[in-house]
Structure 1
Amino acid sequence: MTPAAARVWSGPARATALEALSLAAGFVTQLLLMRRLGPGGYGECVLAVAVGLGITTLTDFGFNIAGTRQAVGWADDAAARHRLFWSVTATKACVGLVAVVLLALLPGTAALLPAAAASALGATLFPTWYLTARGRLVVNAAALLGGRLAMLLAVAALVRRPADAGLAAVLNCLPALAALMLVMVLREPELRAVARPLPVRAADIARAARMGLPALWISAVPAVGSAMVQALIGHLGSTATLGQYAAADKVRAGIQGLFTALGQALFPGSVARHADGAGGARLAPTLLGLAGLAALPMVLAPQQIIAVVAGPGYEAAAGAMRVMGLAVVSSAAVTAFGLLGLLARGLDGAYVRALVAGLAAQAAALALLVPAHGATGAAWTLVVADAVALTLIGAVARRR
């Protein structure tokens, strides 16, 4: 690897290693909650956390892409970045407040509100987008790791019985706020540079909202798609089919989470490279090679992995696990050519249309494959969705 390539990968690689530790901390937290809350209490906690994640997606409002891209473009204009920081923060605060209020108006949601409010507050105040744009990848990842470890300790100390499900949900939604406290204590220089609040006008919020709205769909479409896929699998197959699929998907999602984090860490550099006319094609082969290595155990030893992760009763998930090894590579390709290609050049609409087309193809494939092949058929639809999305991404890339 050349010195220039080493510089491109060193920061993202370190940040991704920290993200892997964060995923491990989250996994241990879930194991602890399963044992202390029991099935009923854990179900309540999972529902509240899922709603909290939805609130986080809305509150982020696409700024993890659009805000990062704009801040990279204003790398040499400190005043513009300062105003951007507070415009984005104010816009996120407005969106988060509206989302929580709308949730509160729905009947039967009182138990969900504390976790939702914690999620909205954390998404508003912890500026992942800005730290990423300013090259503080390791600081961002280390702070979030510290936040998740702090919540793991809090869960271990405070959550004891099923009645603690509400508290457990809130603690699951607090890592971003704990991470903010860490970076404040450490006096992170990039945040100190924009710490002085600026008056934000309605026009600033409107301008920020117009910037973020197109990118909101980039995170919203996968979230909605995941819920749709699980609902269809349960409807077309059975709860047992969905359980077998989910057992294999837990491993795939963990590995894919690492490559998503790596892609996000590489995103600012890719934006800058495209702006300079250098492109980002050289990143794709390395990313795909790493994905292939990560997926290899899933393809070669699915039975052993399922036995360790899920235990007895999930043997039928081995076939799905093997297919999901291919899905790890195909999803990494979507990250390489979509996130680091289209999104780095501002082609948000083309990327979202590719994802939507992939979801439509996946829904059709589920109807064909799940009744006949169960969880393994459902796993193949992940590859189908990625293949359709990649075909459209490639078509746009060739035209541009």
Structure 2
Amino acid sequence: MIYKYFKHFLAIIVTIFLAVPFFMFQGISVEAAPLTNLSDSMSRLKIALTSNHEIKFVTPSGVAAGQNIIYTFDPAFTLGAIDFNDVDFAEGATSNCSGVFTEKTLAAAPVGATWGVSVGASTVTITSGTDTINTNRCVRLKIGTNAIFQTTGVNQITNPATAGSYSISMSGTFGDSGTTLVQIITDDQVAVTANVGTTLSFSISDNIIDFDTLNPTFAKYATPGANSGGSTNPNTVGHSLSASANSTGGYTVTVKGATLTSGANSITVIGNTATASTPGTEQFGLRLVVTNPGPNTGAVVSPYDSATDFAYGADANTTSVVALATTPTSQTNYDAYYVANIDSLTEAGSYSTTLTYVATANF
């Protein structure tokens, strides 16, 4: 009977002895909260190139004073000369990682509200002094030239030399942990090529203009069309030109041709200096005006750009530039005005000439 009670008592003791360690173990176990919304946005994914990193996650537990966050990169990454000057560390206003962030002040070691940044072979550790991060906040870490808060970073992390999937893990005394992955590839760029054909547009409104009968006592101005009679109005347009080009250097418009000529006789040209019309003096000249000026239009070239005076510097063998654009240019419209004057000794005859206008695209 005593043996029976003793055996029962011993079983109870053994049961209690075995149970106590179990309950003690249950009481001291701690499970870190998993980080959420983890991401690492890199500036380059090509093997062996340097890259910026922007790592974000939401910490359920937050970070208390004196705690740290350890970012552990796969050893295939090379952190090189990274220090706190190449790092920005910020706390989001909420758990929204696309929202507003407040940057933290950083230094090599934590002091008061300043956070410390230490860099190992594969780790970047952010340590709080007295500052904290609230629970359920998005945390952002920038490493590289994208870090610009206190100073602009100059050093970047070098990618692994072999293509593949690589991890960046977050842990530390703040208690939460998580891992994100990045894919390093052989080449992350696509060379895109395209050709844009050169376009040059040029037109002349009228191919025949007429002064009709010249007189030494008054100037005549050409009018468009054969036998159109000419005009005594200095604002009479002889014809129009239109030019445009998408070439990098724009375009050049030139004129070439002799003065008004009748057999061996000719009317003296004005020359390369803009000169007022002077009845009683032999003159042949022209001037041009842009009728649709704007930021992407061409311009009349001196001496043909006078508002009232005329010039003519070409001849049968020499061209003269009358209009010019130096960049790709939308359609520019030019009005051309012609003057002819004679003196009392100008030989009688039927005078004519042919002027050749050429537009050339410039590269």
TM-score (norm 1): 0.16
Specify which structure has the higher proportion of strand: 2
Which structure is richer in relative contact order (CA contacts within 8 A, separation 6 or more)? 1
Q: Which entry has the higher C-alpha Rg, 1 or 2?
A: 2
